[in-house]
Chains A and B, each alone.
Chain A
Amino acid sequence: MSLQRTPLFPYYQGEDMPAVRCIDFGGWEMPVQFYSIQREHDAVRSGAGLFDVSHMGEFEVTGPVAEAFLQRMTTNDVSRLLPNQAQYTLMCYPNGGVVDDLLVYKLSEDRFLIVVNASNIAKDFAWLHERLPKGVTLRDRSADMALLALQGPAAENILSRVTESDLKRIQPFHFQDGVLVCGRKALVSRTGYTGEDGFEIYCEAADAPVLWQGLLAAGVSDGLIPAGLGARDTLRFEARLPLYGQELSDTISPLEAGLGMFVKPGKGDFIGRDALVAQKTAGLQRKLVGIEMIDRGIPRAHYTVHAEDGRQIGEVTTGTQSPTLKRNLGLALLEISHTALHTEVWVDIRGKKLKAEVVPTPFYKRTKPKDEGAENG
């Protein structure tokens, strides 16, 4: 099967563009890096980076009982959303394993946009469609929507040059639909996946090239560069944002992944509620923690983690040398008895058991401007 491409694929290359390198990411031919992961990562931490994440899936959920339907399908409390607010949430299986993690945008009282992982689009659509009640319409908008992520401390400055809208009025986890960006209508959301301030900009696929080129041009003086999925992964990792397939899966619950604040059993019934309540009541058997290598080595996804006696106690879910901190760090799902801060554990790196310790997360937290509100919807 040939790889899918976003509407921006032809614009990754060009006279004034660096040599892009693309990879197969869940069936999509996506840019992993334009310059280098380090350079793109640094740009987002210090200035800004522009990501094409149009491979993400967007579904529209509409109808008089759309909210009740999403309440039943997701773990967070959709009823707390006001129009123009976004919420991070998860869909679970009855056993508490995760179908996907997603963003829910409340467009109006009976209209929602939900944004899911590219690799899960077909699975999520089927999962929702099979449970669709009368009076709710589910529409896959993925093919006709593009998504750009403008991320970094300079993001607001840059975006303000190509829109008349007052971006200060879009607080974290809020959005505005119908905003003119480079003269094209877009939904502008103050969200992201990098641990920095920034915006996710949803537009019609046909308008994406104008926004991509317009934003890149508007950001030159602030050091804006295009950034690929490589930097997106290291940025989200430092900020401890989970990636489905690594920190989350059908065998890892949101509670084990440390996402309990997005699970609201008090809101009423939802799929997975009983299992998650039972898991919480019984106490977690394992949980996700940060680890830092003491010995020389870099932890990587799927490396096994061991106790001092050699017994396996878990596995690394993501690991790398942090481009910001230059520390060899990992996220690891470990037996609960080995998850206290500063517990020593041993990572099997290519046949050698190398010492690491449990450390606090997130590894990186940006310093927020004083006037900024809370970040979680």
Chain B
Amino acid sequence: MSEVRDHLFYSEEHEWALPAGGQIVRVGITDHAQCQLGDIVFVELPEVGSTVVAGDSAGSIESVKTVSELYSPVSGKVVGVNDKLVDAPEIVNTSPYEDGWILEVEIDGSLDEALSKLLTPDQYRAIAD
């Protein structure tokens, strides 16, 4: 049984979003997603300054066997990426909700509205297992 944290917002594509102050939202993949992928060996990060759209690809995550799209759960501008994942992508396996975060997005428009379109922890639990 994978871990679903109570203070996060979730997408159906198994990403999480965490309000990180102001208009900034931190994004990563869920414990369920990292578990399904297996040993993660490569994370393709978006460029800082680029624009991401909710539901569209913002990069990719590769395990030994598979390539998986990273879908951004929110729309906005990429203001930060987790550079540690370049040399140590396995952090996404060991710490999906903390050290293994992937990108930070500055939301254009209402933060509350963007988050309200995402799943609650209970809604996500229902689809994750």
Contacts and interface: CB of A to CB of B under 8 A. Distances in A.
Interface of A: 32-33, 36-38, 230, 233-234, 296-298, 300, 320-321, 323, 328, 350
Contacts of A233: 65
B6 to A, nearest CB: 25
Contact of A38 (B42, B62, B64): B64
Nearest to B42: A298
Contacts of A36: 38-39
Contacts of B86: 296
Nearest to B60: A350
A329 B39 CA distance: 17
A234 B67 contact: no
Interface string B61-73: 0111101000000
8 contacts: A37-B63, A230-B65, A297-B42, A298-B62, A321-B41, A321-B64, A323-B64, A328-B42
Contacts, number: 37
A38 B64 CA distance: 8
B38 A33 contact: yes
Contacts of B62: 298, 321
A230 B64 contact: yes
Contact of B39 (A32, A37, A296): A37
Contacts of A32: 65
A37 B67 contact: no
Interface of A, helix, strand, loop or mixed by DSSP: mixed
Interface of B: 38-39, 41-42, 44, 60, 62-65, 67, 86
Contacts of B64: 37-38, 230, 234, 320-321, 323
Contacts of A328: 42
Contact of B65 (A37, A297, A350): A37
Instruction: Report, nearest first, the 10 A-B pairs whose CB atoms are least far apart.
Output: A321-B41, A38-B39, A37-B64, A36-B39, A298-B42, A298-B62, A230-B65, A36-B38, A320-B64, A37-B39
Contacts of B41: 298, 321
B67 A300 contact: yes
A236 to B, nearest CB: 13
A36 B41 CA distance: 13
With a 10 A CB-CB cut-off, give which of B39, B41, B64 has the most chain A CB atoms.
Answer: B64
Nearest to B38: A36
B65 A320 contact: yes
Given A32-B65, A321-B42, 10 more contacts: A36-B38, A37-B64, A37-B65, A230-B65, A296-B42, A297-B42, A297-B44, A298-B67, A321-B62, A350-B60
A297 B41 CA distance: 10
Nearest to A352: B44
A300 B39 CA distance: 16
B31 to A, nearest CB: 14
Nearest to A320: B64
Nearest to A230: B65
